[in-house]
Amino acid sequence: NLDALKEAGAELVFFSPLADEALPEAEGLYLGGGYPELYLEQLSGNTALLDEIRRAIQNGMPTLAECGGFLYLQQCLESDQGQQYPLVGALPGRGFSTPRLQRFGYLHLMGDRDSMLFRAGEPVPAHEFHYWDCTANGADLQARKPSGKDWRCGYVNDRLYAAFPHLHFGGKIPLAQRFVTAALDYQKERQR
């Protein structure tokens, strides 16, 4: 995905939610997978960055948050022992541990309306692999497995993709270009 973003014209700037207290100068935010449950104390303790990310999303910064990044945007994440750690709070849910894989496997996502990455009715291939779940998974997208099992998930709008499913930017659907276009539009707005 990072290579596809670069090919679409993005200049990648990296930061650490564990170590950095501020976002670098950027026009988009990509929070990929990972294991936030392993770093709850450090992530929750970095309140300056949590606040900055929440404000950036509220102010319209194009944001792509999948799986662990999706959990990071929740109100809080619960440890295995049930202790709650406040996180970004840009989304309404609370993440929690489960005893087995949740909604594991390949699927297609489809939006009812156009958004930053999705076009209404366009099936986008994705994959889920997570033991954690949350109380508010969103309902902006239709997820469907090859078996026919389907469910609603995710939060999407003109500047946001936040959901458990991982997207692949290397396919025929120009997801990377759509994200870069949203970032360029955001940059223009900020320059006005």
* pLDDT score for 132: 79
Q: Which are the catalytic amino acids?
A: 67
97 CB contacts (<8 Å, ≥6 apart)? 37, 78, 79, 80, 131, 132
Measure the CA–CA gap between 65 and 6, rounded to whole angstroms. 18
* pLDDT score for 93: 92
Q: How far apart are the first and last CA of the chain?
A: 30
Measure the CA–CA gap between 74 and 86, rounded to whole angstroms. 8
* Residues in the chain, overall count: 192
Both tokens of 64, joined, read 């792509």
* pLDDT score for 101: 66
Residues of the chain falling short of pLDDT 50: none
* pLDDT score for 133: 83
pLDDT in tens, 86-110: 999 999 999 978 777 667 789 999 9
